[in-house]
Amino acid sequence: MKNIVVVATGGTIAGIGEKGKTVAYHAGEISVDDILKSIPNVAKLANIREVQLLNVDSNEMNENSWLTLVKTINCLIEQQNVDGIVVTHGTDTIEETAYFLNLCVHSEKPVVMTGAMRPATATSADGPYNLYQAISLAASAEAIAQGVMVLFSNTIYSGRDIQKVNNYKIDAFDQKSFGCLGYMQDEHVYFFSKTFKHHTLHSIFSKNLPNELPKVAIAYFYAGADASILDYLSSSNEGIIIAGSGNGNYSKEWMEKIESNSKKGIVFVRASRVPLGIVFNDHIFDPHEYCIAANTLSAQKARILLSLALSYTHDRKKIKEIFEEY
Ligand code: SIN
Q: Are 155 and 192 in contact (CB under 8 A)?
A: no
Residues with CB under 6 A from ligand 1: 11-12, 27, 57-59, 90-92, 115, 117
Q: Which residues have a Cβ under 8 Å from the Cβ of 204 and sit 6 or more positions away?
A: 198, 312
Q: What fold, for 215-325? A: Rossmann fold (3.40.50)
Give the pLDDT confidence of 212-224 residue by residue, as tens digits. 999 999 999 999 9
170-200 tens-digit pLDDT:
999 999 999 999 999 999 999 999 999 999 9
The Å distance, Cα 91 to ligand 1 centre, comes to: 4
Specify the pLDDT at position 282: 87
Q: How many A from CA of 41 to the centre of ligand 1?
A: 26
Distance CA 11, CA 25 (A): 11
DSSP tag of 165:
-
Q: What backbone phi and psi angles, to 5 degrees, belong to 206?
A: -75, -20
Catalytic entry in 9, 12, 114, 296: 12
**91, 152, 167: which to mutate for ligand 1, most atoms within 8 A of CB?**
91
pTM above 0.95, yes or no: yes
Ligand 1 centroid vs 167 CA: distance in angstroms?
10
State the closest ligand 1 atom to the C-alpha of 12, by its place in the atom list counted from 1: 7
The runs of H, that is alpha helices, within the chain are 32-37, 63-77, 94-104, 127-138, 204-207, 228-234, 252-263, 299-310, 316-325
Of 23, 35, 59, 164, best ligand 1 pocket probe by most atoms within 8 Å of the beta carbon: 59
Nearest-angstrom CA–CA distance, 301 and 157: 15
pLDDT bin (cut points 50, 70, 90) of residue 107 is very high
Is a pLDDT exceeding 90 seen at residue 236? yes
The alpha carbon of 26 and the centre of ligand 1 are apart by a number of angstroms equal to: 9
CATH architecture group of domain 3-202: 3-Layer(aba) Sandwich (3.40)
Q: Is the pLDDT of residue 303 over 90?
A: yes
Atom of ligand 1 nearest to the CA of 58: 3
Query: Which one of 58, 59, 114, 150 would you pick to mutate in the ligand 1 pocket, going by the greatest count of ligand atoms within 8 A of its CB?
Result: 58
Catalytic residue status for 12: yes
* Residues 280-297: tens digit of each pLDDT: 998 899 999 999 999 999
Whether the CB-CB separation of 85 and 138 falls below 8 Å is answered with yes
Question: What's residue 230's pLDDT?
Answer: 98
Question: Which pLDDT band holds residue 232 (cuts at 50, 70, 90)?
Answer: very high
The answer on pLDDT for 99 being more than 90 is yes
Question: What's the whole-number mean pLDDT along residues 121-128?
Answer: 98
Which atom in ligand 1 lies closest to the alpha carbon of residue 10?
A: 3
Domain extent listing, the chain:
3-202, 215-325
Does residue 11 have a pLDDT over 90? yes
| Distance in Å, CA 268 to ligand 1 centroid | 30
Q: Does residue 118 have a pLDDT over 90?
A: yes
- Same CATH fold, 215-325 and 3-202? yes
How far apart are alpha carbons 96 and 308 in whole angstroms? 13
Q: Which of 139, 245, 51, 305 is nearest to 149 (CA)?
A: 139
CA distance 159 to 210: 20
Going by pLDDT thresholds of 50, 70 and 90, the confidence category of residue 254 is very high
What value does the mean pLDDT of the chain take? 97
pLDDT surpassing 90 at residue 16: yes
